[in-house]
Structure 1
Amino acid sequence: MVSGLLLYLLEVMEVLAEQRQQQILDMLASRQVVKLKDICQQTNCSASSARRDLQLLEDQGALVRIHGGAKAKHDLQRELDMTGKSTQNVSAKDKIAQLAVAKIADQEVIFLDAGTTTLAMVRYLQQKQHLTVVTNGVLHASQLADQGIRTILVGGMLKNTTKAIVGTKAVRDLQHYRFNKVFLGANGVHDEYGLTTPDPEEAAVKQAAFAQAEETFVLADGSKFEAVSFVKISDLEQATIITTDLSRAVFDKYSRQTNILEV
Structure 2
Amino acid sequence: MITIQRQEEILRILQEKKTVTVGYLAELLYVSLPTIRRDLAKLESQGLVQRSHGGVRLNLEPNNEIPIQFRNTYNKREKFRLCKAAARLVREGDVVFMDGSTTVLPLIGLLKDIHNLTVITNGVHAAVMLGKAGIRAYSTGGELIECSMAFAGPIAQKTVRGFNADVCFFSSSGLSEDGWISDYSEAETALRRAMIENAGRSVFLCDSSKIGRRSAFNLMHLEELTCAVVGQALPKAIHTGECQLIIPDSNSPKAN
Structure showing the higher helix proportion among its residues: 1
SS of residue paired to 2:81:
helix
Is the Cα–Cα contact under 8 Å of residues 132 and 150 in structure 1 kept in the other structure? yes
Q: Which residue is 1:211 aligned to?
A: 197
Whole-angstrom distance in 2 between the partners of 1:181 and 1:200: 22
Structure 1 unaligned segments of length 5 or more: list them: 1-25, 34-61, 63-71
SS of residue paired to 1:119:
coil
Matched, 1:90 2:76: yes
Q: Which residue is 1:31 aligned to?
A: 16
Alignment-mate amino acid for residue 87 of structure 1? T
Q: Which residue is 2:245 aligned to?
A: 260
Whole-angstrom distance in 1 between the partners of 2:95 and 2:68: 25
Alignment-mate amino acid for residue 208 of structure 1? A
Which 10-residue stretch deviates more, 148-157 or 235-244?
Answer: 235-244
Deviation at 1:253, TM superposition (A): 3.8
Deviation per CA, 1:169-198: give whole Å up to 9, x if none. Answer: 001111111110000111111243610000
Deviation at 1:97, TM superposition (A): 0.8
SS of residue paired to 1:127:
coil
Q: 1:32 to 1:215 in 2, by over 3 A?
A: farther
Is the Cα–Cα contact under 8 Å of residues 77 and 230 in structure 1 kept in the other structure? yes
Whole-angstrom distance in 1 between the partners of 2:171 and 2:159: 20
Matches within 5 A, 1:61-80: 74-80=60-66
SS of residue paired to 1:84:
helix
Is the Cα–Cα contact under 8 Å of residues 31 and 89 in structure 1 kept in the other structure? no
Is the Cα–Cα contact under 8 Å of residues 166 and 205 in structure 1 kept in the other structure? yes
Aligned residues: 201
Alignment-mate amino acid for residue 223 of structure 2? E
Q: Which residue is 2:33 aligned to?
A: none
Q: 1:93 to 1:165 in 2, by over 3 A?
A: same
SS of residue paired to 2:129:
helix
Whole-angstrom distance in 2 between the partners of 1:241 and 1:256: 9
Deviation at 1:219, TM superposition (A): 0.5
Is the Cα–Cα contact under 8 Å of residues 12 and 74 in structure 2 kept in the other structure? no
Q: Which residue is 2:92 aligned to?
A: 106
Whole-angstrom distance in 2 between the partners of 1:27 and 1:80: 12
| Pairwise CA RMSD | 2.5
Q: Which residue is 1:241 aligned to?
A: 228
Determine which structure has more spread, i.e. the larger CA radius of gyration: 1
SS of residue paired to 2:166:
strand
Deviation at 1:259, TM superposition (A): 2.7
Which 10-residue stretch deviates more, 137-146 or 251-260?
Answer: 251-260
Deviation per CA, 1:86-108: give whole Å up to 9, x if none. Answer: 11111100000111111101100
Alignment-mate amino acid for residue 161 of structure 1? C
Is the Cα–Cα contact under 8 Å of residues 12 and 73 in structure 2 kept in the other structure? no
SS of residue paired to 2:167:
strand
Alignment-mate amino acid for residue 155 of structure 1? G
Structure 2 unaligned segments of length 5 or more: list them: 1-10, 19-49, 51-57, 249-256
Q: 1:251 to 1:150 in 2, by over 3 A?
A: same
Matches within 5 A, 1:82-161: 82-161=68-147
Q: 1:149 to 1:253 in 2, by over 3 A?
A: same
Q: Percent identity?
A: 22
Is the Cα–Cα contact under 8 Å of residues 31 and 88 in structure 1 kept in the other structure? no
Deviation at 1:147, TM superposition (A): 1.2
